[in-house]
Amino acid sequence: MSVPKSASIVIIGGGVSGCAIAWNLANRGIKDIVLLEKDTLANGSTGRCGAGIRMQWAAEKNCRLAQYSVNFFENGNEILGYERDIEFEQSGYLIVAANEKEAEQFKKNVKLQNSLGIPSVYLTPEEAREIVPLIDTSQFVAATFCQKDGHLNPFHTTDAYAKAAERLGVKIFKHTEVIGIEVKNRRIESVETTRGRIATNIVVNAAGGWSKAIGAMTGVDIPTYVQRHQIMVTEPLEPILNPMVMGFSYNIYIQQVPHGSIIMGRSDNTEPLDFRTTSGWKFVEEMTKTCSKLLPALKTANVLRQWAGHYCMTEDAQPIYGPTPGVEGMYLACGFSGHGFMLAPATAQLVSEMILGEPLTIDVSNLDVGRFERRELVFEHSVV
């Protein structure tokens, strides 16, 4: 199966972002869109993520992006006409503050979130225990909770976007790798793949961890890097842990998914900065320690599997959206730093608007790639 000789837009990357952008553009009537994926859909960061969706952020921009995305996911099956289920369960996120300093920040966060219409609340440990009876209240000083946060199935969501895009005429090529990008007079001319060449003037770089390599094919340095992150999952259990429980200084996120398994992950700055997706022993030791402290009852649950994926990181842990200075026609949707899955609907909306020159639904002009050179970084502290 060879690729078409030309395309209006070539999207590189079959993760949730690439598929969502493809659908969004096609849904606006754009024809001849091609999406290229070197492996299978959702095989990179999307399919390896923790599958949490939250609106409780510290930076206003992230709150707005997440809010837009949650509104979309609430009607995702209907909008995308999906016959399976994207499994959006709004069972909430309980975020615990390990110390007074964190609690003070949380008060500010809730105030900001409420001002935007995000229904989060600030709780004492006792109030938090009413929501999560298993939690050890001696381990934190305060918490915030938002019932509208929750879980979403990454495989089904990507599948839903891809299927809807294909019905609108998008051609998706799995197992098709980009091996070169032809640039003439600083303008994209074509994309060379393992299945042939596609003439196009517009490329969307949604290649996640590989976005840097794609950028390099056009002679541009995209300031992203990869870092391994690990997760483990237990056997399916009766419903015992309704919301996602998360702690930033605790360095944990843990959630029982609708199927019954409990998924948990953490960050570790000593993790390798390359494409390794092997699993490590240190992670399991640290993870089980934190988990047993906060939720002691889980000690007897059986661990079924651990796995690893990578975050496509930027210096300020925020995404890069928009055109690439120096290469006309290359749009970036990368550097999601661990929250690309939950932001996909907003990503798709905004990148489509940028390509079509329409006004932006949410102003993300400061999330452009130029901010790193200008040293105008936009930090977000509420991340694991």
- Of 284, 362, 378, 383, the residue at the interface with other proteins (CB under 8 A) is 284
- Residue 237 makes contact with other proteins by CB under 8 A: no
Task: Please state, in angstroms and rounded to a whole number, the distance separating the CA atoms of residues 288 and 234.
Answer: 11
- Residue 276 makes contact with other proteins by CB under 8 A: no
Instruction: Tell me which residues in 51-110 interact with other proteins (CB under 8 A).
Output: 84
User: Least separation, in Å, of the C-beta of 282 and other proteins?
Assistant: 11
For residue 161, the Cα-to-chain-centroid distance in whole angstroms is 15
Task: Please state, in angstroms and rounded to a whole number, the distance separating the CA atoms of residues 293 and 287.
Answer: 10
Task: Please state, in angstroms and rounded to a whole number, the distance separating the CA atoms of residues 230 and 205.
Answer: 25
- Of 41, 118, 351, 364, the residue at the interface with other proteins (CB under 8 A) is 41
Segment contacting other proteins by CB under 8 A, of 40-48, 51-59, 125-133, 266-274: 40-48
- Residue 304 makes contact with other proteins by CB under 8 A: yes
Task: Please state, in angstroms and rounded to a whole number, the distance separating the CA atoms of residues 64 and 113.
Answer: 9
User: Least separation, in Å, of the C-beta of 261 and other proteins?
Assistant: 8
- Residue 111 makes contact with other proteins by CB under 8 A: no
- Residue 271 makes contact with other proteins by CB under 8 A: no
- Residue 234 makes contact with other proteins by CB under 8 A: yes
**23 within 8 A of 48, measured Cβ to Cβ:** no
Which residue's CB is nearer to other proteins, number 2 or number 40? 40
- Of 2, 31, 40, 75, the residue at the interface with other proteins (CB under 8 A) is 40
- Residue 381 makes contact with other proteins by CB under 8 A: no
Segment contacting other proteins by CB under 8 A, of 52-60, 132-140, 210-218, 286-294: 286-294
- Residue 289 makes contact with other proteins by CB under 8 A: yes
- Give burial (CB, 10 Å; 0-12/13-18/19+) of 136: middle
Phi and psi of 323, rounded to 5°?
Answer: -70, 165
- Residue 298 makes contact with other proteins by CB under 8 A: yes
- Residue 36 makes contact with other proteins by CB under 8 A: no
Nearby residues of 29 by Cβ (< 8 Å), 6 or more positions away: none
**267 within 8 A of 313, measured Cβ to Cβ:** no
The Cβ of residue 187 has, within 10 Å, a number of other Cβ atoms equal to 12
User: Least separation, in Å, of the C-beta of 336 and other proteins?
Assistant: 20
User: Least separation, in Å, of the C-beta of 171 and other proteins?
Assistant: 13
Which residue's CB is nearer to other proteins, number 48 or number 64? 48
- Of 306, 315, 328, 366, the residue at the interface with other proteins (CB under 8 A) is 306
CA distances 200 to 44, 192, 276, 283, 347, Å, are: 25, 10, 32, 44, 22
**245 within 8 A of 252, measured Cβ to Cβ:** yes
Q: What is the DSSP letter of 53?
A: E
**128 within 8 A of 103, measured Cβ to Cβ:** no
- Residue 251 makes contact with other proteins by CB under 8 A: no
- Residue 187 makes contact with other proteins by CB under 8 A: no
User: Least separation, in Å, of the C-beta of 228 and other proteins?
Assistant: 14
- Of 259, 275, 356, 358, the residue at the interface with other proteins (CB under 8 A) is 259
Nearby residues of 363 by Cβ (< 8 Å), 6 or more positions away: none
- Of 102, 149, 159, 353, the residue at the interface with other proteins (CB under 8 A) is 159
**2 within 8 A of 195, measured Cβ to Cβ:** yes
Q: Measuring CA to CA, which residue among 367, 368, 361, 363 is closest to residue 28?
A: 361
- The residues of the shown chain that bind other proteins, judged by CB under 8 A, are 40-43, 47, 84, 155-156, 159, 234-236, 259, 279, 284-285, 287-289, 291-293, 298-307
